[in-house]
Amino acid sequence: MTTIETEEQFNDFIKNENVVAVFSADWCPDCRVIEPVLPEIEDAYPDFTFVEVDRDQFIDLCREYDVFGIPSFIAFKNGTEAGRFVSKDRKTKGEVMAFMEEVS
């Protein structure tokens, strides 16, 4: 998974690729719980590029995309939001896989 370093990089990804933006933070325990299964989810959906967006570093992006709980997942296709799995609750592998099925 690529870690976003600039807002411009984020915008380039969503304009040019099918992307799942994973909003998280180092201090977030729910983010650490889902982290070990993310490579498996990435492998299952090779048509998407998964990028990590640090909530603390990119608070303006979080506001722009109404991300108030983490971890949160937003899928983009052809530069447009295709779906979101955004809530304050802990996510399970099954829930993330179901989200990916919806946006694939």
Is the distance from CB of 30 to CB of 87 less than 8 angstroms? no
**pTM of the predicted structure, to 2 decimals:** 0.94
Q: Catalytic amino acids?
A: 28, 31
SS3 (DSSP) at 89: coil
**Could you list the residue range(s) of the whole structural domain that residue 22 is in?**
2-103
CATH code where residue 92 lies: 3.40.30.10
Res 23: pLDDT: 96
Block residue for tokens 């990435």: 42
Structural domains in the chain (count):
1
Res 78: pLDDT: 87
Q: Which of 73, 71, 84, 61 is nearest to 28 (CA)?
A: 71
Res 86: pLDDT: 87
pLDDT, tens digit, 9 for 90 and up, residues 67-104: 988 999 999 998 999 999 987 778 999 999 999 999 99
pLDDT, tens digit, 9 for 90 and up, residues 34-64: 999 999 999 999 999 999 999 999 999 999 9
